[in-house]
Amino acid sequence: MIRPAPWLLGVGLVLAGPATVAGQGPGTPWEMPLRAGPAAPAARGEARLQFAPSPFGVAVTADGRHRYDVRITAENLPDPATLGPYRVLLAWETPRDLSTWHRLGVVRNGTSLVGTADHNKFLLVITAEPDSLVTTRSGPTVLHGMSPSGWLQQFLTHPLFRGMSQ
Amino acid sequence: MGHDHDGMAMDMPIPMPKGMVMLPGLVGLTPPVAPFLPGMVADPAGLPSARPSQVVALADGDTLDLTAGLVARTIRGRTYTMYAFNGQVPGPMIRVARGATITVRFHNAIDLESTVHWHGLRLDNGSDGVPGLTQAPVEPGGDHTYTVRFPDAGIYWYHPHVREDIQQALGLYGNLLVDSEDPDYYAPANREQALMLSDLLVHHDTLIAFGREAPDFALMGRVGNLLLVNGEPEYRLDVERGEVVRFHLTNVANSRTWNLSIPGVPMKVVASDVGRFEREEWVASVVLAPAERYVIEARFAEPGRYPLVNAIQAVDHYRGEFEPQVDTLGWITVGSRPVRPDHASSFAVLRHNTDVTAEIDRYRDQFDRAPDKTLHLTVAVSGLPLTTVQFMSVDTAYYHPVEWVDGMPEMNWLSTAQQVHWILRDEATGAENHAIDWTVRQGAVVKLRLVNEATSFHPMQHPIHLHGQRMLVLSRDGVPTTNLVWKDTVLIPVGSTVDLLIDAANPGAWMLHCHIAEHLGAGMMATMHVVP
C-alpha cells in the first residue's frame, strides 16, 4: 500500500491551489456518467443513484454500506440482436476488483429502474445477453461507468498528483 | 507511533485515525480560540459522582426541580469533570401521560449560561428554552421556570440550548417518555429500555478542550472516540428467552450518525420522533442522526450473548478508501428460561396503524403542490489554514452522502465558528439564517424544500430540527415517502433535496436549525414565526 509522504503531500497541495479540480468530480454523489463500449459506440447514458426506500431516509446495509436504487437513462442503445445471439441489455454491478457480478435489470432506451447497488465503490456495466435471467455476464459491453465514490482515491494516485509518487 | 485502545495515534495533539499523519502546514497549529473545560478550578475529588438515570413519573400538575451541575464522572477508570442534570447521566427520565402539563424549576449550577430545550414537544413557545428568542439565558447560579406540556405520545428529550457543543457533549441530556392513553398504542413487549447514544472525545485520558469563545470542530462537528450508551462505554442487559424488548433510541451525540444493529436478532421499527409509523417495518439496522429518535422492538428468541453494534463504513480521505468499522456498544445476555407472557405471535405481525394513516390523510391534498419556501444548506469559510483550504479543494472531488466518522480530525479541530459559517439560504430572497423573513399563519400547512448543496467548500449531511411543530418527510430527491411518520428532525444527505410538510399548528417563534451542535454554533439557524 502506498502511503503519501507528508512532505510530498504538502507539495502537492501547494501546487494544487484552491480550485484546481473544480468540475473534475461527478458534481454530486448521485450522478454517474456512462461511457459507450466498443460494441455500441453511439450509445449514451447516465445513471442516477438514489437511496433505496428506508424508514430512516438513508438506506444502508447492516455493515454500513449505502444502498442505492439505480436509474439508468440511455439513448442510442443498439438492438441486442444486432450484436450477436442476444435478446436483452442487462445492467450489472461489480466492485472494482470485478470479483462478483450482481445482475441488476433490463436496460432500454429511456429511463429504467434496474435495481439496488450496495458496494462502496462499484462499476456499472451494461451488456447484451441471451435473456434477462442469466447469472453470468457473457455478452459485449454497451455502456459502463464508475460510481461517484470512485472519485475517492489515494491522493498520490489522483490525477492532480500523477507522476509525483515515483 | 503509539496507539491507544481505540486505535488512535497518541503522539498527536488530538486523536488521529490509525496510520494517519497530520498534514504539513497544520503541525503545531491550535484552534484560534481559548481552551475551555468545565469546572477548571474545581477538583473532581470534591464533586459528587455522577449517578445513572432514574425514572421520575410525574402526573398532570406536578413540579420537578432540575439542576444542571458539575459532577465527577468515571469512564473506563478515568475520572473527568463533567455536567449532569440532578447528578444523573442521562438526566432523570421524565415519564408522563399524554396530555399532562408539568412545571420544571430549573437551576443553573454550571459555569456557563444555560437553558433547557424540550426537544420535539409542541409546547408553549415561552417554555421552548431558546436564548434570545423565547427567554434570556440563565446565568450561572440563576433559575428559570418552564411549563411543559405533552400533547403527543412518544419519546422526546431535553437538553440545553446554549453551547450545546459543550453542555450536551458533557452530559446534559435526558429523555421524556410520554405514554399514550391507548393501552394498545404499541404491540405488547416484556420490557422497555431507553438508550441515549453519545460519544466523547478524549486523548491521553483527558478530555479534548472546547473552544471558549466559539465552538471548535466547526467543519464536521465534534465526533468522539468513546462511544457511550446512557453515558457508559458498555451497555448491559439481561433478558429471558423469548423476550420482546422495546428500545427507545435517542441520538444525543454532537455530530455522529449511528447505524445500530443486534446481529442475529430480528428488529422492527415502530415509531420515530413524534409518534408511530403508518406501518411497522422489519429492519436490519437503525440509522439515527443527531437528535432523532426511533422506537425499535426486538425479540430475543434464543439463549446467548448478543452484541449491540454500531457498524459503519468510514472514509479514509488519505488512502481514498472505505474502511469498515464495527464498535460494540454493549451486550444483551439471553437466559434459558422462557419468558412469560410470550409475545412471539404478536411480534411476528407488522402492524398497520390505520389511525396514523387516517390522520395523515387530512394533509394529503397538500403533498403535491409547489414548495412555499426553499432553503439551501451550504457553508462559507474565511481564515482557515491554507493547507486546509487546499486539501479540501482536492477532497471535494467526491463527498459521501453521509460521513459516519471524522475522517479529517486535525482540519476539523482547527476550524472554529469564527472561520466557518454554516448557512441556511432562502432561495427566493438570498437571505441567510436569522435574516430569513418567515412568517406563517397558525394552522397553515407549510411545504418546505431543503436543498443540501453538494458543491460547497465542505458538503456534509445536516440533521435539520424544527422546534415546536411536527412535519412529514414527503419526498427525497423526488421519490415520495411511502411510509410516513411525524418527525421533528430529518437528516438531509449531501446533494439531496428533501420536501417537508409542516403542520404549523403551534403559535410562536420557532427555531429551524442543524442539530450538529457545532453547525448550530456556526450560525446554521433560522426562525419560523407562527402567528395567530
Nearest residue to B193 (alpha-carbon basis) of B117, B99, B300, B291: B300
> What Cα–Cα distance (Å) separates residue B484 from each residue in A68, B69, B273?
20, 39, 12
Residue spans of beta strands (DSSP E) within B151-242 = 154-159, 174-179, 191-200, 202-203, 206-207, 210-211, 226-229, 235-241
Residues B219 and B345 grouped into a single domain: yes
- Nearest neighbour of A18 by CB, restricted to B21, B272, B390: B390
Chain B interface, best mutation among A24, A147, A152, by max B CB count within 10 A: A152
Digit-coded pLDDT (tens) for B447-486 = 999 999 998 999 999 999 999 999 999 999 999 999 999 9
ipTM of the complex: 0.93
**Whole-angstrom distance, CA of residue B273 vs CA of residue B500:** 14
What is the extent of the structural domain holding B501?
Answer: 364-382+419-531
User: Residue B265's closest chain A neighbor by CA?
Assistant: A62
Residue A165 is predicted with a pLDDT of 40
Helix H segments across B226-353?
A: 344-347
Q: Which of residues 398-457 of B touch A (CB under 8 A)?
A: 398-402, 404, 454-455
Which range among B166-180, B304-318, B342-356, B360-374 shows the weakest confidence by mean pLDDT?
B304-318
Contact call for residues B405 and B312 (beta carbons, < 8 A): yes
Nearest residue to A59 (alpha-carbon basis) of A46, A74, A49: A49
Answer yes or no: do A10 and B483 touch at CB < 8 A. no
Residues B171 and B248 grouped into a single domain: no
Residues B120 and B196 grouped into a single domain: no
pLDDT of residue B3 exceeding 70: no
Digit-coded pLDDT (tens) for B391-405 = 887 776 788 999 999
- Nearest neighbour of B397 by CB, restricted to A21, A65, A121: A21
Residues B117 and B196 grouped into a single domain: no
Q: Is B514 exposed, middle or buried (0-12, 13-18, 19+ CB in 10 A)?
A: buried
- Nearest neighbour of A6 by CB, restricted to B24, B490, B493: B24
User: Measured between beta carbons, which residues in chain A are less than 8 angstroms from residue B498?
Assistant: 57
**Whole-angstrom distance, CA of residue B239 vs CA of residue B259:** 23
Radius of gyration, alpha carbons of chain A: 18
Residue B299 domain flag: yes
Contact call for residues B277 and B351 (beta carbons, < 8 A): no
pLDDT of residue B8 exceeding 90: no
Contact call for residues B453 and B378 (beta carbons, < 8 A): yes
User: Would an 8 Å CB–CB cutoff place B486 in contact with chain A?
Assistant: no
**CATH at residue B208:** 2.60.40.420
In Å, the largest CA–CA distance within chain A is 56
Chain B interface, best mutation among A1, A3, A7, A13, by max B CB count within 10 A: A13
- Nearest neighbour of B315 by CB, restricted to A10, A53, A152: A152
Domain boundary among B330, B352, B374: B352
Digit-coded pLDDT (tens) for B29-83 = 999 999 999 977 667 788 999 999 999 999 999 999 999 999 999 999 999 999 9
Could you tell me the three cell numbers for B489?
A: 428532525
Count of Cβ atoms closer than 10 Å to residue B58 Cβ: 21
Residue spans of beta strands (DSSP E) within B317-409 = 321-338, 373-381
pLDDT of residue B322 exceeding 70: yes
User: Measured between beta carbons, which residues in chain B are less than 8 angstroms from residue A160?
Assistant: 394
Q: Give the count of domains, chain B.
A: 3
Residue B261 domain flag: yes
Q: Which of residues 357-376 of B touch A (CB under 8 A)?
A: none
User: Residue B485's closest chain A neighbor by CA?
Assistant: A55
Residues B140 and B226 grouped into a single domain: no
Residue B23 is predicted with a pLDDT of 80
**Whole-angstrom distance, CA of residue B416 vs CA of residue B383:** 10
Residue B401 domain flag: no
Residues B158 and B96 grouped into a single domain: yes
User: Measured between beta carbons, which residues in chain B are less than 8 angstroms from residue A69?
Assistant: 479
Percent helix / strand / coil, chain A, rounded to 5:
15, 35, 50
Q: Which of residues 219-258 of B touch A (CB under 8 A)?
A: 257
Residues B158 and B201 grouped into a single domain: no
Buried b (16+ CB within 10 A) or exposed e, B135-170: bebbeeeeebebebbbbbbbbbbbbbbbbbbbbbbb
Digit-coded pLDDT (tens) for B194-242 = 999 999 999 988 999 999 999 999 999 999 999 999 999 999 999 999 9
Nearest residue to B484 (alpha-carbon basis) of B471, B472, B475: B472
Domain boundary among B312, B330, B352: B352
Residues B430 and B464 grouped into a single domain: yes
Answer yes or no: do A61 and B284 touch at CB < 8 A. yes
Within a 13 Å sphere around the CA of B81, how many CA atoms are in the beta-carbon half?
17
User: Residue A152's closest chain B neighbor by CA?
Assistant: B320
User: Would an 8 Å CB–CB cutoff place B324 in contact with chain A?
Assistant: yes
Helix (H, G, I), strand (E, B) or coil at A8: helix
Residues B338 and B454 grouped into a single domain: no
Residues B284 and B334 grouped into a single domain: yes
**Whole-angstrom distance, CA of residue A73 vs CA of residue B259:** 32
Residues B368 and B348 grouped into a single domain: no
User: Residue A147's closest chain B neighbor by CA?
Assistant: B398
**Whole-angstrom distance, CA of residue A59 vs CA of residue B116:** 33
**Nearest CA distance, B10 vs chain A (angstrom):** 18
Residue B175 domain flag: yes
Phi/psi of residue B418, nearest 5 degrees: -85, -20
**Nearest CA distance, A41 vs chain B (angstrom):** 28
Domain extent listing, chain A: 27-161
Q: Is B124 exposed, middle or buried (0-12, 13-18, 19+ CB in 10 A)?
A: middle
Residues B261 and B205 grouped into a single domain: yes
Q: Which residue has the higher pLDDT, B64 or A17?
A: B64
Please report which confidence band the pLDDT of residue B290 belongs to, taking 50, 70 and 90 as the band edges. very high
Q: Which of residues 279-298 of B touch A (CB under 8 A)?
A: 281, 283-289, 294
Digit-coded pLDDT (tens) for A66-107 = 999 999 999 999 999 999 999 999 999 999 899 999 999 999
Digit-coded pLDDT (tens) for A23-45 = 344 557 888 999 999 999 999 99
**For residues B94-98, average pLDDT:** 98
**Whole-angstrom distance, CA of residue A118 vs CA of residue A104:** 11
Sign of CA dihedral B145, B151, B153, B154: negative
- Nearest neighbour of A62 by CB, restricted to B261, B317, B454: B261
User: Residue B312's closest chain A neighbor by CA?
Assistant: A64
Answer yes or no: do B313 and A148 touch at CB < 8 A. no
User: Measured between beta carbons, which residues in chain B are less than 8 angstroms from residue A63?
Assistant: 311, 313, 324, 326
Residue B376 is predicted with a pLDDT of 98
A vs B, Cβ pairs < 8 A, gives: 161
